[in-house]
């Protein structure tokens, strides 16, 4: 299963990307996470459906100082995963 997730609220400057990378690696989910110029965080998750769904649900929680007010999940094209394996942070878009 591969999904693109957009998280909104107070999610930049609170360690959200680092938290998400740790959660994704612990769940065995591949993909990436990045800040968006509009203040959102965007991620791509690829892995077993139950692990991806659990990570999507965890996005509502986020790290301690985050305040999430939206989580949008849509199916994604496998090409969006990009090269390499594992989970990584990428440059702001």
Task: Enumerate the active-site residues.
Answer: 17, 35
Cα–Cα distance, 46 to 38 (Å, whole number): 24
Cα–Cα distance, 86 to 72 (Å, whole number): 22
Cα–Cα distance, 81 to 60 (Å, whole number): 22
Tokens of 30: 């591949």
């Amino acid at each position: 299963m591969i999904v693109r997730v957009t998280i909104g609220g107070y999610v930049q400057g609170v360690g959200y990307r680092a938290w998400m990378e740790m959660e994704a690696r612990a769940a065995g989910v591949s993909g990436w996470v990045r800040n968006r110029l509009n203040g959102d965080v965007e991620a791509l998750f690829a892995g077993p459906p139950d692990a991806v769904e659990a990570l999507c649900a965890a996005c509502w929680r986020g790290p301690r100082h985050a305040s999430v007010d939206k989580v949008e999940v849509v199916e994604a094209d496998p090409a969006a995963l990009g090269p390499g394996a594992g989970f990584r942070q990428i440059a702001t878009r």
